[in-house]
Amino acid sequence: MALSKGERTRERIVAAAAPLFNRRGYAGASMSDLMTATGLEKGGIYRHFESKDALALAAFDHAVALHGQRIRACVEEAEGAVDRVSALANALAQSIDEGVLAGGCPLLNTAIESDDGDDASYAELRARTRTAMRRLISYTRKIIEAGVASGELTARIDAAAEAESIVATLEGALMLSKLYDDPRYVRQAAARVAVQARQWAR
Amino acid sequence: MALSKGERTRERIVAAAAPLFNRRGYAGASMSDLMTATGLEKGGIYRHFESKDALALAAFDHAVALHGQRIRACVEEAEGAVDRVSALANALAQSIDEGVLAGGCPLLNTAIESDDGDDASYAELRARTRTAMRRLISYTRKIIEAGVASGELTARIDAAAEAESIVATLEGALMLSKLYDDPRYVRQAAARVAVQARQWAR
Amino acid sequence: MALSKGERTRERIVAAAAPLFNRRGYAGASMSDLMTATGLEKGGIYRHFESKDALALAAFDHAVALHGQRIRACVEEAEGAVDRVSALANALAQSIDEGVLAGGCPLLNTAIESDDGDDASYAELRARTRTAMRRLISYTRKIIEAGVASGELTARIDAAAEAESIVATLEGALMLSKLYDDPRYVRQAAARVAVQARQWAR
Amino acid sequence: MALSKGERTRERIVAAAAPLFNRRGYAGASMSDLMTATGLEKGGIYRHFESKDALALAAFDHAVALHGQRIRACVEEAEGAVDRVSALANALAQSIDEGVLAGGCPLLNTAIESDDGDDASYAELRARTRTAMRRLISYTRKIIEAGVASGELTARIDAAAEAESIVATLEGALMLSKLYDDPRYVRQAAARVAVQARQWAR
DNA sequence: ACCGACGGGACCGCCCGTTGTT
DNA sequence: AACAACGGGCGGTCCCGTCGGT
């Protein structure tokens, strides 16, 4: 399918910018960094994005899309709610692996960086983070609800609350794993989520 | 009074800088911000700190100390492992309340901001965050262990793993509450931790 | 035309910076001074030089090149060792003339300013000054040696020592002329050098 | 004899400031440097000098006095114009020795640093340098004149011109010795001066 | 007599963004 | 479509000097 040269360049820029923003943060990544990462001069970048903010948003969307795709891919390989919940936990846990998206889970990073209520330039980034996080929680909830509907999981659980808890636990564990540069924390958290899912199945 | 004028000013600066750094991040808070926050000119600040980095570290230590004191105070009011674990969860959950320390839990914030391995200026901040987080987890573990030792809690649990899980869950929930500006997430997480602690008591 | 716009601007900056550094010294000339001298904003200058140091080095090289060219031009007009030595002395003496290079002999200035052993930022400047001075002395020596070889000058003189002495005398006299804003000292020194050269010819 | 405590401190400051200014230059030595060199706080220094300029002038005078005393002491040990001229040359050559006055001959240094005609703050320093240099040349001239008057030296020489030439040569050689961190240049220059003085005696 | 606290300003370096120019 | 040149401004740091205190 035909992307024009300009569109391909745009994609290249976004793909190069995403890990950079994810590692250094939106404010921490400079146009200089982006220039070296993309191999383009400033003019070349500004041709495709009207501002650094606009590029940051595109890069964030790209990162979130990658992140979401990987999670959905893992989940859809599994069958049944228990396995799917486990798969989702494992997939989220893999966010720390370099190679997936350098810098870890973009939702976590952006949620923390863009939390300053005053700053206007973060508003849109924050809004998108909220939406993406909502989607992640909602996706988790639907997996649980499907399990309940099919009878695989007990009806006594509150799917919405459990979904929030799962995401919170995993993101918190991701933070610890990043802090200590040690995957143990997320792995353990993912294992716990899997255990709990199995308990819901009894 | 034991503090000289300079020492008092130093404390004032640190006290004013701590929430600023905690909200805007270490890189995001500028010396200009610090000047307006402290009411001092740049020269006055640099009299007490040899660099912005040094001030940031002092402010971080201050924030962590405040954070830790508040938690310990809550915990020590409670009796018994179950209540103490619940108290700790509630105390951590209060980190989002403005008024305690604007900007939320400093450990969470710094862990995320200082995660770029390359940056040399973050190294010390990161090291201190690790130590402080280790202490928080360790403190939690000791509460559980004391409960096990006294027979209040079942010996079947792995205190270290549970402590890590509790902290991860609460920090992850703090992130969600900050993202959505809604205390619901942390409150729910704290409630869950309390429920689980009660289950260990049976 | 062989120079691009950027290269021309770079030359303009160097040409404007050279007399400024030569007059005020490397540390004494500020970026503000350079901005007004070049008519560019800081951003425009930093486009062409990565630091003030780099610009200072380029300006020094430029000054030395100008200085050397003028001397060589004077010397090459003369025939015979005696006249050439005299021409070199006169050319060096002209270093004080404003219009040639404001601020006097760059070798003298830089040798004095960059003499603090501790300062790292002066190291390269100092190294280049040494090289340039070595070249000046060496150039003088070769003129004398050529005179000896052709039989014009007596073989009893030590060309290397005489070259050093000539340069030392002229530079010292330049210093006096600058101090008193009076060309008498260098003129007299140049005259002496010429007299001595004539004595070598007998 | 009785100097008050304040006067002694003042002397201490000047003695500590002199080598510092001589090495780093007037502008290059900061009040911070002076504080560490003197062991005093800023307030302690400004109690005795109304400005950095005033201290610099006092330090310059001190340096020049030291310098002059050493030279006169060397000269007065010698008898006869030839030996005295040689002694003066040797004494001046010793200016490069650390331990005498770190940073070399203060006249040379100040003459070069304060040569920017525009700068008002250098005016007084420059004026004093002129006076001190005039004195040095004049002192040299008088030694020669005394030799002529006593019949030790030929009357065919122009004492004033020879004095200027001697000082110029030695200062120029000092510059070379400082540049290359090699006493050879000044030593050779001093030897040449001695040889010439002996020729005047025939 | 000396210390310590602070102000206000200048320093260099880097930032992001715009505008000609290939 | 991309580069290269440049503007204007803010970043942290260090400067010199004053002034209240001891």
The upper half-sphere exposure of residue C144, i.e. CA atoms within 13 Å in the direction of its Cβ, equals: 28
Residue type, D4: S
- Give yes or no for residue D2 having a pLDDT over 70: no
> Token digits for B18?
């701590």
Cα gap B58→B95, rounded to integer Å: 20
Share of chain C above pLDDT 70, in %: 100
Neighbours of chain D (3+ CB pairs under 8 A): C
* Residue D198 pLDDT class (50, 70, 90 cuts): very high
Q: Are B27 and A28 in contact (CB under 8 A)?
A: yes
**Cα Rg of chain A, angstroms:** 19
Neighbours of D133 (CB within 10 A): 21
Tokens read off for B27? 């890189």
Q: What is the pLDDT of residues D109-165, one digit of tens each?
A: 999 998 877 788 899 999 999 999 999 999 999 999 999 999 999 999 999 999 999
The Å distance, CA of C7 to C1' of F16, is 39
Q: How many CA atoms lie within 13 A of D71 on its CB side?
A: 23
Q: Is C112's Cβ below 8 Å from some Cβ in D?
A: yes
Look over chain D and give the mean of its residue pLDDT values, rounded to a whole number: 95
* Nearest-CA residue relative to C1' of F2: A44
Q: What is the DSSP letter of B120?
A: G
Tell which residue, A96, A103, A102, A106, has the closest CA to residue A67: A106
> What would the pLDDT profile of A108-145 be if each residue is shown by its tens digit?
999 999 887 778 889 999 999 999 999 999 999 999 99
Q: pLDDT of C84-129, one tens digit each?
A: 999 999 999 999 998 889 999 999 999 999 887 778 889 999 999 9
CA–C1' span, A99 to E19, in Å? 39
Q: Are C26 and C113 in contact (CB under 8 A)?
A: yes
Q: How far apart are CA C126 and CA C121, in angstroms?
A: 9
Residue in chain B closest to A117 (alpha carbons) equals B23
Q: Among partner residues B130, B176, B181, which is closest to A168 by beta-carbon distance?
A: B176
Cα-based angle D125, D127, D129 (whole degrees, multiple of 5): 70
Nearest CA in chain D to C163: D185
For chain B, 202 residues long, the average pLDDT of each consecutive 10-residue run is 86 98 96 97 98 98 98 98 98 93 97 85 96 98 98 98 98 98 98 98 88
Q: For residue A62, what are the CA distances in angstroms to A66, B98, C17? A: 6, 33, 47
Q: What are the C-alpha distances in Å from C187 to residues B200, C91, D19?
A: 100, 10, 33
What are the distances in angstroms from CA D75 to CA A35, C90, D66, D87? 68, 34, 14, 5
Measure, in angstroms, how far nucleotide F4 C1' is from residue C52 CA: 21
Give me the residue label for tokens 């995403």: A18
B9 touches strand E (CB under 7 A): yes
Contact A48, A13 (CB under 8 A): yes
Angle at B50 between CA B45 and CA B54, to 5 degrees: 95
Q: How far is B118 from chain A (nearest CA, A)?
A: 10
Along the 202 residues of chain A, how does pLDDT read in single tens digits? 566 777 899 999 999 999 999 999 999 999 999 999 999 999 999 999 999 999 999 999 999 999 999 999 999 999 999 999 999 999 999 999 988 899 999 999 999 998 877 788 899 999 999 999 999 999 999 999 999 999 999 999 999 999 999 999 999 999 999 999 999 999 999 999 999 999 999 8
Name which of A30, A115, A187 to mutate to probe chain B: the one with the most chain B Cβ atoms within 10 A of its Cβ: A115
Residue B179 contacts A where some CB pair is shorter than 8 Å = yes
Give the rounded distance of the alpha carbon of C22 from its chain centre: 10
Taking C1' of F13 and every protein CA, the nearest residue is B51
Of B23, B130, B189, which is closest to A165 when you measure between CB atoms?
B189
- CA A168/CA A111 separation, integer angstroms: 12
Chain D window 64-93: residues with CB closer than 7 Å to nucleic chain E are none
Q: What is the DSSP code string of C179-192?
A: HHT-THHHHHHHHH
- Is A47 (CB) below 7 Å from strand F? yes
Neighbours of chain C (3+ CB pairs under 8 A): D
From residue C153, how far is each of B132, C79, C147, C162, D71 by CA, in Å?
A: 82, 13, 5, 12, 37
Distance CA C153, CA C170 (A): 21
pLDDT at A4: 79
Q: Inter-chain contact B176–A175, Cβ cutoff 8 Å? A: no
Per-residue confidence band for D192, with pLDDT thresholds at 50, 70 and 90: very high
**pLDDT, mean over chain B:** 96
C101: which residues sit within 8 A by CB, 6+ positions away?
A: C18, C19, C22, C63, C66, C67, C95
Alpha-carbon gap, residue D169 to D161, rounded angstroms: 12
* Distance (Å) from the alpha carbon of B47 to chain A's nearest alpha carbon: 28
3-state secondary structure of D153: coil
Question: Could you tell me if C187 and C195 are in contact, meaning their C-beta atoms sit under 8 angstroms apart?
Answer: no
Q: Collect all residues of chain B within an 8 Å Cβ-Cβ radius of residue A116.
A: 23-25, 28, 103
Mean pLDDT of chain C: 96
CB contact under 8 A, B172 and A176: no
Name the stretches of chain C with pLDDT < 50.
none
